[in-house]
Amino acid sequence: MKSRALTVSAAQLGPIPRSATKAETVARLIKLLESAASEGAQLVVFPEAALTPFFPHWFVRDRSELLTFYETRLPGPETQGLFDAASELQVAFVLGYAERTAANRFFNTAVLVDELGEVIHKYRKIHLPGFELKQEGAPFQNLEKRYFEVGDLGFGVRRWGNAEIGLAICNDRRWPETYRVMALRGAEVVCLGYNTPALTPHLPESDRLVDFQNHLSMQAGAYQNAMWVIGTAKAGTEEGVCQIGGSAIIAPSGEIVATARTMGDELVTAEIDLDMVTRYRRDVFNFSQHRRPEHYSIITDPVSL
């Protein structure tokens, strides 16, 4: 069988300062998109909340300041250039951003934009970590539960070209359901971005394991669901919060085929074989032949048998 090859890039970002304008940040994204196109990439994955610093790390008292972090439409005046670049370069991309809807609802969102610059898929983050209330004494906040609602679009899958694409965002990658639901819907590639602090103030024993657990989650998701995973970090120290890098492209075998080496703006590019998904799903992860969900609940007390 002929292999379905696709060249993809994880476009890792270094920190975005609070003082940066959206125009400056979008210029960084366009530069990465241009470099990716010159490397032959057809799909580029940007991080979670790629247009702003990761503002849930702060308690923002002033509502008008808080609202500046959200997009009310995409493309909007500040992001149009990225969409234009995509259609000029004929490159699709995945962009994470903070969304404010017309009905004044707030989501941590990612979109898949095709090579014509059209939004063809949207996902709103379901697994929101952190807290609703300010954590007094914490070295930094994670107030995602304060600033966003739980996503209401489920884990959808969208056909793009000859690939089935699913989207997830950051903390979603730690939950097996994320990958399994999309795999059951036929996803072949899951694209996700993350902002992950290097320190876990509420579970310090895991500090030494943060990089390991990042890759562990994505590699397990890829292997156990026979899919490609493209994970893209916002890395480096952003307004005093040190975030991990480690952006990676991971095969259905669970192997990392390419990974970031720096904590700054960096492209991680690889040619991926979509038929590897088909081969793994025909064998060890042939869901219809080997998966037995109807037997997973115990209905009899095993001791009485």
Q: How far is the CB of 160 from ligand CDV (least distance, A)?
A: 25
Among 79, 109, 171, 225, indicate the residue that binds ligand CDV (CB under 6 A). 171
List the catalytic residue out of 99, 115, 125, 188.
125
Select 26 or 143, whichever has its Cβ closest to ligand CDV. Answer: 143
Choose the binding region for ligand CDV from 29-37, 61-69, 190-198, 256-264 (rule: CB under 6 A). Answer: 190-198
Q: Is 194 among the residues that bind ligand CDV (CB under 6 A)?
A: yes
Q: Is 195 among the residues that bind ligand CDV (CB under 6 A)?
A: yes
Select 152 or 301, whichever has its Cβ closest to ligand CDV. Answer: 152
Q: For residues 111 and 120, give the distance between their C-alpha atoms in angstroms, rounded to a whole number.
A: 7
Choose the binding region for ligand CDV from 67-75, 85-93, 166-174, 275-283 (rule: CB under 6 A). Answer: 166-174
Would you mind telling me the total number of residues written for the chain in this entry?
305
Query: Which tokens belong to 171?
Result: 């903390």
Catalytic site residue 34? no
Select 47 or 75, whichever has its Cβ closest to ligand CDV. Answer: 47
Q: Map residue 184 onto helix, strand or coil.
A: helix
Query: Which tokens belong to 75?
Result: 């493309």
Q: Map residue 27 onto helix, strand or coil.
A: helix
Q: Map residue 200 onto helix, strand or coil.
A: coil
What is the separation of C-alpha 194 from the centre of its chain, rounded to a whole number of angstroms? 6
Cis peptide before 75 (omega within 30 of 0): yes
Interacting positions 29-48 with ligand CDV (CB under 6 A): 48
Residue 123 backbone dihedrals phi, psi, to 5 degrees? -135, 140
Q: For residues 48 and 243, give the distance between their C-alpha atoms in angstroms, rounded to a whole number.
A: 12
Q: Is 229 among the residues that bind ligand CDV (CB under 6 A)?
A: no
Q: How far is the CB of 209 from ligand CDV (least distance, A)?
A: 12
Q: Is 243 among the residues that bind ligand CDV (CB under 6 A)?
A: no
Site string for ligand CDV, 46-65 (x = CB under 6 A): --x-----------------
Q: Is 219 among the residues that bind ligand CDV (CB under 6 A)?
A: no
Residue 7 backbone dihedrals phi, psi, to 5 degrees? -100, 125
Residues 6 or more apart whose CB falls under 8 angstroms from that of 160 comprise: 43, 92, 112, 114, 120, 121
Interacting positions 125-144 with ligand CDV (CB under 6 A): 129-130, 142
Catalytic site residue 48? yes
Q: For residues 236 and 258, give the distance between their C-alpha atoms in angstroms, rounded to a whole number.
A: 19
List the catalytic residue out of 71, 164, 170, 238.
170
Q: How far is the CB of 139 from ligand CDV (least distance, A)?
A: 13
**CB neighbourhood size of 305 (10 A):** 5
At which residue do the structure tokens 């081969």 appear? 279
Q: For residues 89 and 133, give the distance between their C-alpha atoms in angstroms, rounded to a whole number.
A: 43
Catalytic site residue 242? no
Active-site residue list: 48, 125, 170
Site residues, ligand CDV (CB under 6 A): 48, 129-130, 142, 170-171, 174, 194-196
